[in-house]
Amino acid sequence: MKLKGKVAFITGASGGIGSAVARIFASEGANVGIAARSVDKLEALAKELKDMGRKAVVCRCDVLKDQDILDSIRSTVRELGPIDILVNCAGIVSFEAVHELPDEVWDRTMQINAKAPFVAIREVLPSMLKRKYGRIINVASVSGKIGFPFRSAYSASKHAVLGLNRSLSAEVAPHGITANCICPTFVSTVMFNESIQKWADETGKTFKEMEAELRNKVPMKRFIDPAEVAPLALLLASDDSAGMTGQAINVDGGFLQV
């Protein structure tokens, strides 16, 4: 039980990676606040976690709204206690050529992918600093390290997350708090399938053609399952990684070797 007695809060918990992280945390003893817009999915997930003997707080949360984030965190703290582990997993991706990118798409992408993690971090940090303990995990992307065509807003937002994490980790390192990023690529989720279709539309290819092209870019010649990302989150949330901070670790089948 690597997380016995710990309290975790996860945004984007209704999605593939977020829900996988919630399950593995619960399996290792954590009680979890799960936040997303889809309450039905959260309720089903909460039942799974409670069947493991854990407590789960369902938080309807639209991370476009700062107050939703604050309310969700505060609700979790009221019911479960101070948050030991924060996982910022909510995210969106957009596909537009730079010269066709509307302001509203840029702003929405930056709010969800970059500002929402900042708002959540700022809310949980005072308690972590007071207790001299905390684990902050930001789900970024290899798009935070390199660029892809038609993904400028997404790439900029993920670069921002990595930059935030670097400064944050240096700031809180003396206080028993770690901050690390997970950088997946081509993870088999609903959002990824939607991304394949959008990318295909931008390039004039079919879904199957685009899917095959992306798969062939991965040395393992396959996409990543969300369940393959969750164990890394567990490592970063546990005391096994007490000496790791400021890192941005790829889970990508060998796609990006930096």
Residue 1 lies in a domain: no
Q: Do 194 and 128 reside in the same domain of the chain? A: no
Q: Do 28 and 71 reside in the same domain of the chain? A: yes
Phi and psi dihedrals of 141, rounded to 5?
Answer: -175, 155
pLDDT of residue 199: 83
Q: Do 71 and 195 reside in the same domain of the chain? A: no
Q: Do 118 and 16 reside in the same domain of the chain? A: yes
Q: Do 15 and 95 reside in the same domain of the chain? A: yes
Rounded to an integer, what distance in angstroms lies between the CA atom of residue 204 and that of residue 210?
9
Residue 59 lies in a domain: yes
pLDDT of residue 169: 98
pLDDT of residue 192: 85
DSSP the chain: -TTTT-EEEEETTTSHHHHHHHHHHHHTT-EEEEEES-HHHHHHHHHHHHHTT--EEEEE--TTSHHHHHHHHHHHHHHH-S-SEEEE-------B-GGG--HHHHHHHHIIIIIHHHHHHHHHHHHHHHHT-EEEEEE--GGGTS--TTBHHHHHHHHHHHHHHHHHHHHHGGGTEEEEEEEE-SB-SHHHHHHHHHHHHHHT--HHHHHHHHHHHSTTSSPBPHHHHHHHHHHHHSGGGTT--S-EEEESTTS---
CB atoms within 10 A of CB 164: 20
Any bridge partners for residue 251, and if so which?
184
Amino acid at residue number 204: G
pTM over 0.75: yes
Residue 256 lies in a domain: no
Q: Do 22 and 126 reside in the same domain of the chain? A: yes
pLDDT of residue 35: 98
Number of domains the chain is built from: 2
Residue 44 lies in a domain: yes
> Mean pLDDT per segment of 10 residues, for the chain of length 258 residues?
97 96 98 97 98 98 98 98 98 91 97 98 98 98 93 96 98 98 92 85 90 93 95 98 98 90
Residue 246 lies in a domain: yes
pLDDT of residue 8: 98
Q: Do 207 and 99 reside in the same domain of the chain? A: no
Residue 258 lies in a domain: no
Q: Do 177 and 216 reside in the same domain of the chain? A: no
pLDDT of residue 131: 98
Residue 2 lies in a domain: no
| Count of CA atoms in the C-beta half-sphere (13 A) of 70 | 7
Residue 194 lies in a domain: yes
Q: Do 200 and 232 reside in the same domain of the chain? A: no
How is the beta sheet containing 7-11 ordered, strand by strand? 56-60, 31-36, 7-11, 85-88, 134-139, 177-184, 248-251
Q: Do 214 and 118 reside in the same domain of the chain? A: no
Q: Do 15 and 77 reside in the same domain of the chain? A: yes
Q: Do 200 and 122 reside in the same domain of the chain? A: no
Looking up tokens 């539309």, which residue turns up?
201
CATH number, domain with residue 236 = 3.40.50.720
Rounded to an integer, what distance in angstroms lies between the CA atom of residue 25 and that of residue 7?
9
Show which residues are catalytic: 154
Domain that holds residue 200: 188-223
Compute the residue count for the chain: 258
